[in-house]
Every structure is written in structure tokens, then in C-alpha cells.
């Protein structure tokens, strides 16, 4: 099996690389549109599930989806292979609405999405959005899914990337 963690995350390990990634969703209209659609869909999916006591986001990146989890779980855990991405997430205001309940990240863990440092069935819900298109082979994608299923107790939400999609061809 290849090691997609190394090739995908290499440029996100630095402060500059993580900051560049974090800002690109505000800088490009097509990325803003994509993020808006992605956030809406994830919000709808989470609204149909019972509230989770624990939720894991892997990879969490700089936390661009983290505020959505405030109404979906009691305890939020974030994993990314980049310490710099997690530092950005740690400084985000996750409860922009002053009337909403306090929402904090319980744990930030630097780890591979293929070797999560948690026991089996550790989280009610596990979310993995926007990683599959960085995984070059079907065995890589399968290994990632197996690891998500291992740590999940009830729900796994995964975005799927179709290499034949119009977006990918563009």
C-alpha cells in the first residue's frame, strides 16, 4: 500500500502551508461555493442523526467545518496529520452565536487517518470529509474507511470522490 499521508500533508506541515490551505476557501469563488454546498449537506445529514455524545473529525484540517459540529455533539475531537492545521483550529471561535452553548474541542490529536490513536468504538460519530480525493488507490481508500469504522460506535460520514466527476476533470 502506498503512503498517501506523506505526499498529501507534506506542504501543510509548515505555518505557511497550513495558512495557505486555510485561506484558499475564502480566496476562490468556486471553493466558496463548494464549501457552502458541503456545509449545507453535512448540516442536513447531522440534523437527521441523534445527537452524538462524541464526534471525531478526521482529518479536521484548519477546522473549516468544525462549527457545524456544535449542534451535533457534546464532545468534539479533531485529528489531523499536521500540527500547524490543528493550531489554526484551536484558535477558531467555534461558537460564533453568543446565545449558543459553549462548544470546545475536547482533544486535538496529530495522527494518521490510517492509524487513529483511539480504541475501537470510541466515538458515536466519525466524519471524514475531503480526504478521499487525496488517496491515490482503492486499497488506500478502503484502508481509511476500515479505520473509520473501527473507531466509530454508531455513524460514519464520509465524502466520496469520483475521479470521473466534472469537477475533477476541470
Tell me, what DSSP letter sits at residue 114? Answer: T
Contact 132, 160 (CB under 8 A): yes
When comparing pLDDT for 88 and 49, which is higher?
A: 49
| Residue 20 backbone zone (phi > 0: left; psi -120 to 50: alpha; other: beta) | alpha
Note the pLDDT tens digit of each residue in 92-112: 765 545 455 556 678 889 999
Cβ neighbours, 10 Å, residue 137: 11
- The pTM assigned to this predicted structure is 0.81
Note the pLDDT tens digit of each residue in 138-162: 898 899 999 999 999 999 999 876 6
Cβ neighbours, 10 Å, residue 93: 8
pLDDT class of 1 with cuts at 50, 70, 90: very low
Tell me, what DSSP letter sits at residue 102? Answer: P
Q: Return the ∠ at Cα 135 (arms to 133 and 138), rounded to 5°.
A: 105
Note the pLDDT tens digit of each residue in 3-53: 555 555 666 666 665 565 656 667 777 778 888 888 999 999 999 999 999
29 contacts: CB under 8 Å, gap ≥ 6: none
Amino acid at each position: 500500500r502506498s503512503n498517501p499521508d506523506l505526499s498529501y500533508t507534506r506542504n501543510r506541515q509548515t505555518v505557511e502551508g497550513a495558512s495557505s490551505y486555510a485561506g484558499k476557501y475564502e480566496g476562490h469563488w468556486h471553493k466558496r461555493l463548494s464549501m457552502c454546498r458541503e456545509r449545507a449537506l453535512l448540516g442536513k445529514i447531522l440534523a437527521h442523526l441523534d445527537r452524538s455524545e462524541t464526534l471525531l473529525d478526521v482529518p479536521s484540517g484548519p477546522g473549516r467545518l468544525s462549527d457545524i459540529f456544535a449542534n451535533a455533539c457534546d464532545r468534539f475531537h479533531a485529528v489531523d496529520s499536521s500540527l500547524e492545521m490543528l493550531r489554526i483550529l484551536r484558535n477558531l471561535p467555534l461558537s460564533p452565536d453568543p446565545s449558543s452553548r459553549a462548544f470546545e474541542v475536547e482533544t486535538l490529536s496529530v495522527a494518521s487517518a490510517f492509524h487513529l490513536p483511539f480504541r475501537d468504538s470510541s466515538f458515536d460519530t466519525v466524519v471524514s470529509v475531503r480526504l478521499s480525493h487525496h488517496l491515490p488507490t482503492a486499497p488506500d481508500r478502503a484502508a481509511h474507511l476500515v479505520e473509520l469504522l473501527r473507531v466509530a460506535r454508531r455513524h460514519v460520514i464520509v465524502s466520496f470522490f469520483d475521479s470521473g466527476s466534472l469537477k475533477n476533470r476541470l
